[in-house]
Structure 1
Amino acid sequence: MLTGKQKRFLRAQAHHLSPAMQIGKGGITAGVIEQVEQDLESHELMKISVLETSPLSRDEVAEILVEETGAEWVQSIGRTVVLYRKSTENPQIQLP
């Protein structure tokens, strides 16, 4: 579980990131979950954009991905979700 200070730090880190993935009318599929897993393992921090065509709300997308990947839900703004999960092989982000 992340502390408030750690979430603040991760939000600052994520500010400059572009969304790595978009969730559209297909919703969340096994392929999407697999891609999120790979991105979290290699980058630890990722932004996901939820398009207006998505059948799921931004918060539903975040809850499903957190449950499926074991990531931490850092932030939601507009139609964007920020997730974090420490890499098992190559940790890059040092949390305060």
Structure 2
Amino acid sequence: MLTGKQRSYLKGMAHDIKPITQIGKYGISDSFLTQLDDALEVREIVKVNILESSLLDTKETANEVAKTLEAEFVQAIGNKFTIYRPSKNNPKIQLPKS
């Protein structure tokens, strides 16, 4: 569970990140989750774009994806959301302590 200070730190990092994947009208698929899981292992923080044709709620979708991938929801703005999970093999992001 992220503290407010850690979440704020990650929001600052996510500001300049471009979405690396998107969710379309077919919603959350197994291949999407596999791709995102691999991306989280390498990058630790990722931004996802939800296409308007999907008719999904951004925050609900972000929380569902984060729960499935054992990641932390960072933020949702418009049709984009950001999630974070420290790398198991090569952690790079140093979060503030509290």
TM above 0.5: yes
- Could you tell me how far apart the structure 2 residues matched to 1:6 and 1:29 are? 29
**After TM superposition, what 4+ stretches of structure 1 lie above 2 angstroms from structure 2?**
none
Gaps of 5+ in 1: none
- Could you tell me how far apart the structure 2 residues matched to 1:62 and 1:27 are? 12
Give percent identity, aligned residues only. Answer: 44
Deviations 1:13-55 (A, max 9, x none): 0101000111111210000010110010000000001110114
Partner of 2:28: 28
Task: Name the Cα RMSD after superposition.
Answer: 0.8
2:62 partner SS = helix
Counting matched residue pairs gives: 96
Between 15-24 and 55-64, the greater mean CA deviation after superposition? 55-64
Partner of 1:9: 9
TM-score normalised by structure 1 residue count: 0.96
- Could you tell me how far apart the structure 2 residues matched to 1:59 and 1:2 are? 17
